[in-house]
Amino acid sequence: MGTALITGAGSGLGKEFARILAAEGNNLVLVARNEERLNAIARETQKADNVRVEVLPADLTKPDDRERVVRRLRSRENPVTLLINNAGMGLGQDFVGGSRRRETEALNVMVTAVLVLTHAAVNEMVKRGRGSIINVASISSMTVQGTYSAHKAWVKVFTEGLAADLKGTGVRVTAVLPGLMHTDFHRRAKVDATQWKEWMFLDLRRVAESALNAARRGRVLAVPSPIYKVAYGALKFSPRVLVRKIAGPKMSGRGR
Ligand SMILES: NC(=O)c1ccc[n+]([C@@H]2O[C@H](COP(=O)([O-])OP(=O)(O)OC[C@H]3O[C@@H](n4cnc5c(N)ncnc54)[C@H](OP(=O)(O)O)[C@@H]3O)[C@@H](O)[C@H]2O)c1
């Protein structure tokens, strides 16, 4: 048992990670902006499982807030043994004509925060000779759906490079590439999720369990569910010219 720090723990996949890890007896540090929602999850997980839960409200677009999370990751008291970089969002806009501020916020949450928090965590973990990091990317990292795909591709390649660096240190890092999930993600990005077939949506618990199992086995990349494994293979081996044709911005479902 250890202590897991989860970003974006207030809803969706992050909340599911929190529930599973608490049920296993792990302590939690919950990070997101909405403190009320974090407190509700803290009450639920503490009551059910008698674990210690810390609520750390932070807006990961803001440098000062990221530094507060960094300080917790560096703390030797109840050291963080598992970091889950899960916070993320759909941009809900095209790059051309879209808000530059929104672009920068998305980059800060899905790239800068992942880099900064991983840097803090990994240095402590290497000193201790053990620890795990899970970075939530997306199957979109294999497509070309605007800057969201670019951010998730960065997360995937960053994780692969770091995994090579960490060989022999006792510290492991895993990138998870989920497909569609029913969470707040699409509503917040103003995308109508009913346009996709129900069978395309993954069960949240299975995605979280599959990510945790992959991390425990030391897998560097994890694609939960057989249908998305097929999609991953097809995207990986298709000529990029074809990927650009079929898996471009229109696939994000905006404006339908
Ligand atoms: N849903 C999908 O179909 C899908 C598919 C593939 C990958 N993913 C990825 O899965 C991860 C989890 O997303 P989800 O589907 O569970 O969506 P979600 O329900 O909208 O959860 C996103 C979480 O990120 C947090 N967050 C957003 N902006 C933040 C900020 N500035 N600072 C701190 N926390 C912030 C949100 O909390 P606050 O608003 O309270 O800050 C929330 O807890 C994301 O990385 C997403 O890109 C999702």
Q: How far is the CA of 66 from the centre of ligand 1 (A)?
A: 16
pLDDT in single tens digits along all 256 residues of the chain: 899 999 999 999 999 999 999 999 999 999 999 999 999 999 999 976 679 999 999 999 999 999 999 999 999 999 999 999 999 999 999 999 999 999 999 999 999 999 999 999 999 999 999 999 999 999 999 999 999 999 999 999 999 999 999 999 999 999 999 999 999 999 999 999 999 999 999 999 999 999 999 999 999 999 999 999 999 999 999 999 999 998 877 777 665 4
Q: Is 228 a catalytic residue?
A: no
Number of domains in the chain: 1
**Domain enclosing residue 30, as ranges:** 3-252
Which of 68, 1, 57, 52 is closest to 32 using CA atoms?
Answer: 57
| Cβ of residue 14 lying under 6 Å from some atom of ligand 1 | yes
Q: How far is the CA of 155 from the centre of ligand 1 (A)?
A: 14
Q: Is the dihedral of CA 56, 80, 132, 67 positive or negative?
A: positive
- Domain with residue 226: its CATH number is 3.40.50.720
Q: How far is the CA of 148 from the centre of ligand 1 (A)?
A: 12
What pTM did the predictor assign? 0.97
Q: Count of CB atoms within 10 A of residue 242's CB?
A: 11
Q: Mention every residue, 6+ apart, whose C-beta is less than 8 A from residue 123.
A: none
Could you say which of 80, 137, 148, 177 is catalytic? Answer: 148
| Cβ of residue 68 lying under 6 Å from some atom of ligand 1 | no
